[in-house]
Structure 1
Amino acid sequence: MNNFYTVLVVDDEMLIRQGIIHYVDWETNGYQIVGEAANGKEAIKKIEQLEPQILLTDIVMPSMDGIELIQFVKKHYPAMEIIVLSSYEEFDYVRKTFQLGVADYILKPKLNEKEILTTLDKLISKRTNLQQEEVSISMDDVVRKLIHGYQTIREFNYLRDVLQEKTISLIEVFTKPDTELHLSKRKLCALFERMNLPISVNEISIENYSKLFLLYTKEQNSMIEAQKAIEKISGTFKMTIGEPFSETSKMKEIYEAIERTKRFHFFLPDKRILYTNHLPNATDPTFLFDFNHFTHLVKHRQIEQAYSYINEYIENITETYAMEVHEFQSWLGNICFNMIVLVDNMDLNTEKLEENKYNYLKKVNDAFDVQEAVTVYQELIAEVKELLLTNVASPPMIEQLLQYIDENYQEPLTLEDLANHFHFNPSYLSSYFSKQMNQGFNEYLHKTRIEQAKNLLKKHEISISSISEKIGYSDPSYFTKVFKKMEGISPRQYRRKVVDAK
């Protein structure tokens, strides 16, 4: 047993927390880190559980900032000493924290072992009310340091002695954000006890929504049985089981293999449990994504083709595991962002789409697996298609379409010709035209041609076949069929009717 001053570290940046925790030789200097938190709310829970003597906290944090946390601590734990971590631009906040009773502050740009220990030692020399407490070496803390490569020789030797001549297994369990992770050390111990398996369990919190379980036993067969039993545990969480090992020095290597497996969990959403030594091979994608082609499709409003092109590429990435999770999320987020920018340049009413832009990016970045990420993109595609169909800025476009038809009806005009001329997707143009005109493109084209035919039929010198050709029908019999369908009589009967009327 050793006497230490106990410290809780609070900062929303994980790298800063890890740096403070692992780069300072705390115990040699008489201190021990008893916990960490990412914001004020988490810190309060840890304070109530651990009651540290010293609080080392950032000021600007989400959920509950440092000011609120300091106010809470000074009200409920007045004896606790507080040191503030601050950036240069946060000095107004620092001034306020001194008014609340903090002991000192450290500028983040100067954050190093010497600065931290000097500030703490100065605090201890001024405060006679702080007494060192007896704190034993924590197995969980030592494992956490070892897998991140920060352990001291003393800690490594301690872990080696505990795990000597034992079969060891690391198992990581994680779940979706905002979903409670129900699997615990207590449940695993109860399971192994029912099975009469001599397995010891340690539970290490790695980050929010993720736990690492350290299992160890003297009986190798018991570890095999334990892993099989764990596979049968039901729940919404995902699990990675590392290859069993016996040398403590391999723990960091095994943990890194577990972390690499997260890529496969992401691209295999239906697989709940993966073993690090039974993974599919990651290969290069069979084709490269052409961003210019994607841009061309969106600019020409060929949204369905753009969607299909994206899907084809995602399927290829999913089959080859060719990207890390953060790379895929960054790529898809970039696709979503550029899709919105391109649509915004189409002179449409994109106010709602613009409001949702960063929400789409956040959803992609927070996606638990590839299915969730693709669902976000599908939502965006649906919103873009709806926008193109219903946008209030579209009447000038319908006028251009009608003018083009009026000027070219005598040509063999098709919907595809019109779509190509105005850079529309034919399917979209068909829906758009019908919505604006309450009739389809072909119906409108026939009406335009038949109206022109009626004018020409009043002139006796022009034959029926010539009229058919002049208004865009190459087949006179087809012209007659369309005319009779729309007017109820044939072109010849219509001409006689006009003559009789005169």
Structure 2
Amino acid sequence: MYRVLIVDDEPVIRNGIKAFINWEREGLTATADCANGMEALSLMESLPVDILITDIKMPLMNGIQLMQHSLQLYPHLKVIMVSSYTDFEFVREGLKLGAVDYLLKPTLEAEDLLAVLRRCIASLEEEKKRQSKISRSQLDAVYRDQRKFEHELKRLIVLEQECDYSWVPGWMKDRITCVYMMLDDAQELREIHGNLHTQLLLEDLQESFYTETQEGVAALVTSDNSLFLLLPKGLQEVEPLLLQWKQLLARNFGVSITLGICSLQGIHEIRHGFAESRHASQERFFQGLGKIFSANAAQGLPRRQQDAEIDETPDWAALAEQIRGRTAASNLIKQVHNRWSGGRLDPARIKHEACSLLTETCQNSVDLGTLPEQLDHVRSAETLEQLEGILSRLFEEFERGTAMNLPDKGYSGKLITKALSYMNTHYTEDLTLQSTADAVHVSKSYFSLLFKKQTGQNFIDYLIDLRVREAKRLLVLNDFRIYEVAEAAGFNDVKYFSKLFKKMTGFTPVEFREKHQTSK
């Protein structure tokens, strides 16, 4: 809505103007009214205004003076003057300054005011379109440069042969900072929102990075929960900017990120910078999420061992036998904790050892059941604390005889069939993993693992597929607005629905409708 400010020293005129117009119906809001120019100017310094309706003769500051000052604040401001019969000299001056029109107080009618307001709106809309075309053209040029830099950056990191540096902008030839960004709690986000969510989220974070930085490159060159960033200047100048960006992401997107950073001289060292910043970010496994780790710190970060040939490798078979012998899980975790937290092993090696221990534990089980899904949980752990928590839970369940083995005899298939029937009936509602598990009378964790085993999909991804199929049907069959289609298919956020739909189908909802209605 466009904001309107009414300024007149006569309360009856101000109230009359406010009563004349159905502001909301016209796409306007009467933001405020003031009794003189000084009061109005003070208000406008903190409150943007699109249309100013002002008397010409007022105490302290007249309408012409107010118009001059307010146009300096807002060059696109539209001004409507209100005058008496004796103010024509002022009226002419106001029109020269760019006022849209003037209205006479003694004969002021609602229809006249509404007609001038609509002219103001049309002028504002036209200016917005022109500005949008200019901005779009500028953004397209910037976008092309960004994508070119991202593509070349990926090539530099992946290819080991000598590369062409002719494309490199000037700032990349001087001191630069490499940043390896890891999205925290990515597995939890996938379980709640689906596998595509993290990809869409990373694209939003990439866009946010470009919005907040004048120079820099953010490339999706790594895993499905990471970005690699390049920024001009060294660590001292860049760290405050990264802290501000982290806070912005937490506020606007509700996400936490971990950053590994290192500084180097020029793009020729980029592969080293990528490796060092990535190594630094992995320190979150030991020290926790949501921090910034610098590879250029005075003491440096420990170089952890990834090779398989390490002395004193535990006897995983013996440890597994203890678990099968009902040794307390907490005692077993203590045995491996000192080895894993001692600073010698990197996260990948630790997860490999955890998977070995888990696999050995299940070797003699009649049915390994959900072992692959459990191993995926271990590999997705982002910190050592999370990893040990996952193992503790699994070992405790094993002690109770509830882990890995899913006694079937057709029971699991019937249970999931019942769950799918429930989902097909309720997928447009606020359906969750917990509510569906409750509907079939099993625990949430058990149902999650069983659902993945039986269907090959996570619960939330299956649910999103159902909703997108319904959205496709609605788009083809009727002329609902896009937000109505989103709501009817079970999506609460139309913007997110449109992005997800485009990612899954290759078409925007509007393009999909046009394509399939045309082909009918």
Query: Do the structures match in fold with TM over 0.5?
Result: no
> Normalised by the size of structure 2, how large is the TM-score?
0.40
User: TM-score w.r.t. structure 1 length?
Assistant: 0.41
- Higher Cα radius of gyration: 1
